[in-house]
Amino acid sequence: MITVLQRVCEASVRVDGKVIGQIEQGLLVLLCAEQGDTGAVADQLLAKILKLRVFSDDAGKMNLSVQDVGGALLVVSQFTLAANVSGGNRPSFTQAARPDEGRRLYEHFVAQARALHPWVQTGQFAADMKVSLVNDGPVTIPIRMTAPA
């Protein structure tokens, strides 16, 4: 799975002009399932995200996790993170999970996040979404998690 995390002061997702997910301080989690990903990979990625120390402590050092600061998660599916542009100017998305499998893994990730963290909002899988955010820092971190070979 691929994710791009953005530490935010606020973020929201709109579908058809309506806000469907919104957070204040926390992490915007742009999430992409790739071919071969499993629920175990999603769980491993979520564990990393919840413990990742990307928020500042009193000394200004990135020593605190989203859990430590009581921040929220806004999880948004984004298959375009699997884009391969090495063959030309039009991205190929062949490494992205098939839509049914991508939805299953996205929903698994969200369910696990809600079970482990009290503040989780989402986008809408496969919708045309408008994502707004105020990146805090800016702090933007890409993570790729794969199943063990």
The catalytic site residues sit at 78-80
Sequence-separated (6 or more) residues with CB below 8 Å from residue 141 = 4, 5, 6, 52, 54
4 secondary structure, DSSP code? E
* Polymer length of the chain: 149
Question: Which two structure tokens, joined as six digits, stand for 56?
Answer: 């500042």
Sequence-separated (6 or more) residues with CB below 8 Å from residue 62 = 53, 54, 55, 56, 139
